[in-house]
Structure 1
Amino acid sequence: MIKNSYRTAEKIKNDIEEHIIVTERQIERLQKVFKLLGDSDREIKCSAIESLIEENNRILEETQPRAIRDAAIISS
């Protein structure tokens, strides 16, 4: 059980890291589009995303690395 939980956690971690890379590439492309259009690539804060990040940070602080933590992060 512990071995499977570790593999699950590693897979989720890898998936999230891959998602971050894809998102960063999307941001770079959008910045290029804004520049081509002569518009600034102004940052717009999204309170919903900020809340999700805060919630995930809370989950990380309050739980141990196990399947339940993974489920909590995915569900948030």
Structure 2
Amino acid sequence: MIYKQLLTTLDELGVKPIEAVGKEFDPNFHNAVMHVEDEEAGENIVVEEFQKGYTYKDFVVRHSMVKVAN
């Protein structure tokens, strides 16, 4: 319940989570810590997120740590 209140308050202040899984890798928002060969995922697509990233009003507070398909 407290976690939900915290997320609601942060959302009202302008802190938003970065969408990563299934999106194209963007070094401005994502930090690639692993690469994997996956023909189904496509080139330069994020296949897994290890740590959630956040933005505050258009500024990156923390990059998402992700695994990218080559």
TM-score by length of 2: 0.25
* Structure with a larger share of its residues in strand: 2
* Structure with a larger share of its residues in helix: 1
Higher Rg: 1
TM-score by length of 1: 0.23
